[in-house]
Amino acid sequence: MATWTQLNLQNAASPLMEQLIFFHDHTLLILSMITIMVSYIMISLFFNNFTNRFLLEGQLIEIVWTILPAIILIFIALPSLRLLYLLDDTMNPLISIKSIGHQWYWSYEYMDFKNKIEFDSYMIPTSDSTSSMFRLLEVDNRIVLPINTQTRILITAADVIHSWTIPALGIKIDATPGRLNQGSFFINRPGVYYGQCSEICGTNHSFMPIVIESTTLNSFINWIKSF
């Protein structure tokens, strides 16, 4: 999860987030090179004592500064289009979860089992939290999922627009009343991952966190049996 003074993105916990971080670094490198080059040219112009009173046109330089940005945009656009395709690609999921946004909590349904599992997830108030909990981020009922398993999530809302977001997994899906949105993710390492509603949904918008706990398959099965 994000911590104080952290400037970079959160560590990736899914292949899609890894690709997003790679694309971010790739684009940032290109932008840094452009910034350095333009800054050098501008500074050199300030200290340039040469003038050309008879310069009316420069076809060569105009061709260069038209073609060069087009080539740079191609190097940015091709990885971007590939990444957009990967983000929208939905493989055969092994587990499906339905998430419903309320003012101001989340409710979840596991729909793949004989006995459908349903529970609400409320934020633990600061007065009830312990020193081992993250303030305003911990919930009373976590989402438990097995690692290395393709998961599909169906998201909607019961009242106003919410947004289901887990930064470490690279997933952000709007929860819209009367509409069922779909997303998928693949957690490749165990851990606890925190997220928050990313749509201003009312006065308690900041108090409806999301917590996913990824475990081994055996631990997940034991958790399912506990219901």
Q: What is the pLDDT of residues 121-144, one digit of tens each?
A: 999 988 888 888 888 889 999 999
> Beta-strand (E) ranges in 49-198?
95-102, 105-110, 117-121, 143-146, 150-157, 162-166, 171-175, 181-186, 191-195
Mean of pLDDT values over 58-85: 90
CB atoms within 10 A of CB 124: 18
In the structure, what pLDDT confidence band is assigned to residue 65 with cuts at 50, 70 and 90?
confident
Distance from C-alpha of 163 to C-alpha of 122, rounded to nearest angstrom: 16
User: What is residue 69's predicted lDDT score, i.e. its pLDDT?
Assistant: 92
> Which of the four pLDDT bands, split at 50, 70 and 90, describes residue 156?
very high
* pTM across the whole model: 0.82
Are 208 and 198 in contact, with CB atoms under 8 Å apart?
Answer: no
Checking if the pLDDT of 82 tops 80, the result is: yes
pLDDT, tens digit, 9 for 90 and up, residues 86-128: 887 767 888 999 999 999 999 999 988 877 889 999 999 888 8
State the pLDDT at residue 31. 94
Average pLDDT over residues 215-227: 88
Tell me: pLDDT of 56 over 80.
Answer: no
pLDDT digits (tens, 9 = 90+) for 4-34: 777 888 888 898 899 999 999 999 999 999 9
Please enumerate in sequence order all residues whose Cβ is within 8 A of that of 76, keeping only pairs 6 or more positions apart, or say none. 26, 27, 30
Task: Quickly tell me which residue has 């991952």 as its tokens.
Answer: 193
Structure tokens at 79: 């990885």
In sequence order, what are the residues at sequence separation of 6 or more whose Cβ sits closer than 8 angstroms to the Cβ of residue 41? none
Conformation bin of residue 191: beta by default, left when phi > 0, alpha when psi is -120 to 50:
left
Q: How far is CA 61 from CA 41, 57, 64, 68, 81, in A?
A: 13, 9, 5, 10, 30
pLDDT computed for residue 134 by the predictor = 87
Residue type, 87: L
CA atoms 75, 168, 157, 209: torsion sign: negative
Average pLDDT, the chain: 89
Q: How far apart are CA 194 and CA 133, in angstroms?
A: 12
